[in-house]
Amino acid sequence: MKKNIFNMPKAVTIKGRSSSITNSFYNGIVPIIEPSDEEIRNALKTLEQTEDNVTCVYCGDPKTEWDHLYPLIVNKRHTGYITEIANLVPACGKCNQSKGNYNWKEWIVSDAEKSPKTRNIKDLGKRIKIIEKYDLTFPKKQIDVEALVGEDIWQKYQESYEKIILEMQKAQSIMDNIKSIIKGQNKTCPTEKKSRQSTSVSEDLQGSSVDNLDDLLNRVGKSIFVIYFDLFYKQLSNLEIIQEIKKENTFTEKSYASRVTIGSKIPL
């Protein structure tokens, strides 16, 4: 059967939503300046487009949205740019998703998936020149949010963000354990591999010998291993690792020892 006939929906994870949280935290505080009709018309004219035919500036497909030419967030930090017509250009979904937070000049000629270059857009050189003209014609505002609100308020905002991300990581750990239990009890499910019930993991792990890395990770709890990777990587003693993990989790004493024992066996 051809691969493109059926696409299995991807599994949802809590950690997978962290980027949405980051986006909400930082995009939510960025000023939005509504353009006038005249400003929109001037923007389209500079982009050599008309109100009756607005297309993606990057590839020429029909416009589905207006994209920030320069990203608002990079590496979980506000870049200073805001949402205004000077920093917005018509785009299609493919280009917007492919571009992400990359610099548009680098991305447009890159080998990124679905970039104009990889899609062999014929008039790419002309499009780049038009965007460059637009970029120079409309100066963009930049602000320093931290300086405007003050260090104390900004620090509190940062801490509240980090707390939410940490709680999401903890919830992901619980989710992984719940999924393990469901897998163990639903052995007839054809889309799931058979696994031991996580209710007996703490008893089974201690003293066991497992050669497969993925099996090790599944049994110790992938999210636990990822969250506390530094502890294992530093090769601390099992007791030291247990003490650190106990500060933020409520496993049983035997479960702590079992998880750390298996985690210590994983080659780093």
Domain contains 4: no
- 72 lies in the same domain as 169: no
Q: How far is Cα 167 from Cα 174, in angstroms, rounded to an integer?
A: 11
Domain contains 20: no
pLDDT attached to residue 110: 94
Domain boundary residue, one of 110, 142, 174: 142
Other C-beta atoms closer than 10 Å to the C-beta of 170 total 15
Domain boundary residue, one of 142, 167, 197: 142
- 105 lies in the same domain as 122: yes
Domain contains 247: yes
Domain contains 97: yes
| Residues near 145 by beta carbon (within 8 Å), at least 6 away in sequence | 29, 30, 78, 80, 154
- 40 lies in the same domain as 127: yes
- 208 lies in the same domain as 239: yes
Q: How far is Cα 147 from Cα 85, in angstroms, rounded to an integer?
A: 24
pLDDT attached to residue 16: 79
- 182 lies in the same domain as 232: yes
What single-letter amino acid sits at 45?
K
- Helix then strand then coil, in percent of the chain rounded to 5, is 55, 5, 40
pLDDT attached to residue 58: 97
- 50 lies in the same domain as 137: yes
Instruction: Please state the three-class secondary structure of 44-108 as a single string.
Output: HHHCCCECCECECCCCCCECCEEEECCCCEECCEECCECECHHHEEEECHHHHHHHCCCCHHHHH
Per-residue pLDDT of the chain (268 residues; tens, 9 = 90+): 566 677 778 888 887 788 888 888 888 899 999 999 999 999 999 999 999 999 999 999 999 999 999 999 888 788 999 999 999 999 999 999 999 889 999 999 999 999 999 999 999 999 999 999 999 999 999 999 989 999 999 999 989 999 998 998 899 999 999 988 888 876 655 544 444 444 444 444 444 444 555 565 565 565 555 565 555 556 666 666 666 666 655 555 555 556 556 555 555 5
How many domains does one find in the chain? 2
Domain boundary residue, one of 78, 111, 142: 142
- 86 lies in the same domain as 176: no
- 43 lies in the same domain as 110: yes
Domain contains 131: yes
Alpha-carbon distance values, 204 to 132, 197, 198, 245 (Å)? 63, 10, 9, 20
pLDDT attached to residue 193: 46
| Residues near 6 by beta carbon (within 8 Å), at least 6 away in sequence | none
Domain contains 9: no
- 160 lies in the same domain as 256: yes
Q: Are 81 and 68 in contact (CB under 8 A)?
A: yes
Domain contains 84: yes
Q: Are 202 and 255 in contact (CB under 8 A)?
A: yes
Q: How far is Cα 115 from Cα 130, in angstroms, rounded to an integer?
A: 17
Q: How far is Cα 14 from Cα 115, in angstroms, rounded to an integer?
A: 29
Q: Of 31, 21, 33, 32, nearest to 157 (Cα)?
A: 21
- 223 lies in the same domain as 193: yes
- 99 lies in the same domain as 38: yes
Please identify which residue in the block is written with the tokens 């805001």. 82
Query: Rounded to two decimals, what is the model's pTM?
Result: 0.60
Instruction: Please state the three-class secondary structure of 128-158 as a single string.
Output: HHHHHHHHHHCCCCECCHHHHHCHHHHHHHH
The SS3 of residue 159 is: helix
Alpha-carbon distance values, 189 to 45, 84, 143, 227 (Å)? 58, 51, 54, 29
* Enclosing domain of residue 103: 32-142
What single-letter amino acid sits at 37?
D
- Count CA atoms within 13 Å of residue 22 on its CB side: 14
Domain contains 161: yes
- 138 lies in the same domain as 155: no
The SS3 of residue 32 is: strand
210: its two tokens:
């497992």
